[in-house]
């Protein structure tokens, strides 16, 4: 780790002003990505601004037709939330299978989506469930938020404050984990919300989370699992690494989509 200034923000405004006055500041949420990056000396921020003490960034609220999750809410809190379990059980299940207990008790939804790891679970959750990302400046549809590997539309210093998920009629997430990291080799969120069917895929594409149009068409209104399984997904543009070939990922997309569809019922 290189030296940096540590600042513990006490409010959203405090955090935003600390970030804007820093040469090269970085917000710190759960630290599950940022701290290892610092330890390996892969990043050299001048200032690290800790969001942990900002009370109103964490928590889950039930807005009737949607639930809103504060940016600093941990994966464990989402996984164990009664509200989430009753309104959008697929989301609770997704959070409950991120990493390991230590990671779930530190890692946050805001940190996860700001980071937009191409193998992370929440991006598929946000896109599949048609969530809205709320920042200190604006509200952004998940469809527009994730732009590329580790890239989002967030501007320099923009702070995610919450994510709002409309309550789905049906939804399930199926993940095939990487055996080593337990991130997703392929994860598919299948959801039907307000009559719209979505299948959002993480882990597979060279440009991060995306909606699989061919799978969505096959699933149709009835979430037809067999039809999803029968889709021959092209391996073009998919990742290939020591853990999985592009062909294997392509195959897993239809398998995971069909399993999610079955689970969503």
Ligand X SMILES: Cc1cc2nc3c(=O)[nH]c(=O)nc-3n(C[C@H](O)[C@H](O)[C@H](O)COP(=O)(O)OP(=O)(O)OC[C@H]3O[C@@H](n4cnc5c(N)ncnc54)[C@H](O)[C@@H]3O)c2cc1C
Binding footprint of another protein on the chain (CB under 8 A): 1-3, 40, 176, 179-181, 185, 242-245, 247-248, 251-252, 255
Q: Which does 159 bind (CB under 5 to 8 A by kind): another protein, ligand X, none?
A: ligand X
Please tell me the distance from the alpha carbon of residue 177 to that of residue 170, in angstroms, as a whole number. Answer: 23
Please tell me the distance from the alpha carbon of residue 72 to that of residue 31, in angstroms, as a whole number. Answer: 11
- 19 token code pair: 């970030």
Cβ nearer to ligand X, comparing 110 with 208: 110
Assess contact for 191 and 168: CB atoms under 8 A.
yes
Cβ nearer to ligand X, comparing 66 with 103: 103
Q: What's the min distance (Å) between Cβ of 208 and another protein?
A: 17
8 binds ligand X (CB under 6 A): no
145 binds ligand X (CB under 6 A): no
First-last CA distance in the chain: 48
Cβ nearer to ligand X, comparing 231 with 244: 244
Cβ nearer to another protein, comparing 94 with 186: 186
- Beta partners for 6? 48
Stretch 166-205: interaction string toward ligand X, x if CB under 6 A: ---------------xxx----------------------
99 binds ligand X (CB under 6 A): yes
Stretch 16-55: interaction string toward ligand X, x if CB under 6 A: ----------xxxxxxxxx----------------x----
Residue nearest to ligand X (CB): 111
Starting at the edge strand that comes first in sequence, how are the strands of the sheet with 132-135 ordered? 60-62, 66-70, 160-166, 132-135, 139-141
Torsion of CA 63, 65, 70, 75, to 10 degrees: 130
Among the listed residues 237, 239, 189, the one whose alpha carbon sits nearest the alpha carbon of residue 216: 189
**H helices then E strands: how many in the chain?**
12, 14
- 11 token code pair: 């409010």
Cβ nearer to ligand X, comparing 121 with 216: 121
- As to burial, measured by CB atoms within 10 angstroms (0-12 exposed, 13-18 middle, 19+ buried), residue 101 is exposed
Residue among 108, 192, 239, 258 that touches ligand X (CB under 6 A): 108
- As to burial, measured by CB atoms within 10 angstroms (0-12 exposed, 13-18 middle, 19+ buried), residue 178 is middle
103 binds ligand X (CB under 6 A): yes
Q: Which does 4 bind (CB under 5 to 8 A by kind): ligand X, another protein, none?
A: none
Q: Which does 251 bind (CB under 5 to 8 A by kind): ligand X, another protein, none?
A: another protein
Q: What's the min distance (Å) between Cβ of 165 and another protein?
A: 28
Among the listed residues 117, 118, 75, the one whose alpha carbon sits nearest the alpha carbon of residue 97: 75
Positions in the binding site for ligand X (CB under 6 A) = 26-34, 51, 71, 75, 98-99, 103, 106-108, 110-112, 114-115, 120-122, 159-160, 181-183
């Amino acid at each position: 780790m290189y030296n940096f200034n540590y600042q513990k923000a006490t409010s959203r405004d405090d955090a935003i002003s600390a970030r804007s006055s820093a040469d090269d500041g970085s917000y710190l949420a759960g630290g599950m990505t940022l701290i290892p990056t610092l330890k390996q000396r892969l990043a050299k921020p001048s200032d690290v601004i800790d969001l942990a003490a900002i009370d109103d960034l964490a928590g889950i609220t039930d807005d009737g037709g949607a639930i809103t999750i504060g940016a600093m809410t941990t994966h464990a809190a989402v996984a164990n939330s009664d509200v989430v379990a009753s309104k959008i059980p697929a989301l609770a299940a997704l959070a409950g299978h991120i990493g390991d207990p230590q990671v779930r008790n530190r890692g946050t939804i805001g940190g996860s989506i700001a980071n937009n790891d191409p193998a992370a679970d929440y991006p598929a959750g946000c896109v599949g469930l048609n969530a809205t990302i709320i920042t200190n400046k604006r509200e952004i549809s998940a469809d527009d938020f994730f732009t590329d590997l580790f890239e989002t539309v967030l501007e320099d210093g923009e702070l995610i404050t919450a994510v709002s998920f409309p309550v789905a009629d049906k939804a399930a997430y199926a993940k095939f984990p990487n055996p080593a990291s337990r991130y997703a080799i392929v994860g598919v969120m299948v959801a039907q919300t307000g009559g719209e069917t979505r299948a959002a895929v993480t882990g597979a594409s060279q440009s991060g989370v995306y909606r699989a149009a061919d799978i969505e068409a096959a699933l149709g209104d009835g979430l037809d699992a067999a039809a999803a399984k029968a889709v021959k997904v092209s391996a073009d543009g998919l990742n290939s690494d020591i853990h999985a070939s592009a062909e294997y990922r392509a195959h897993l997309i239809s398998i995971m989509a069909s399993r999610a569809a079955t689970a969503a019922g």
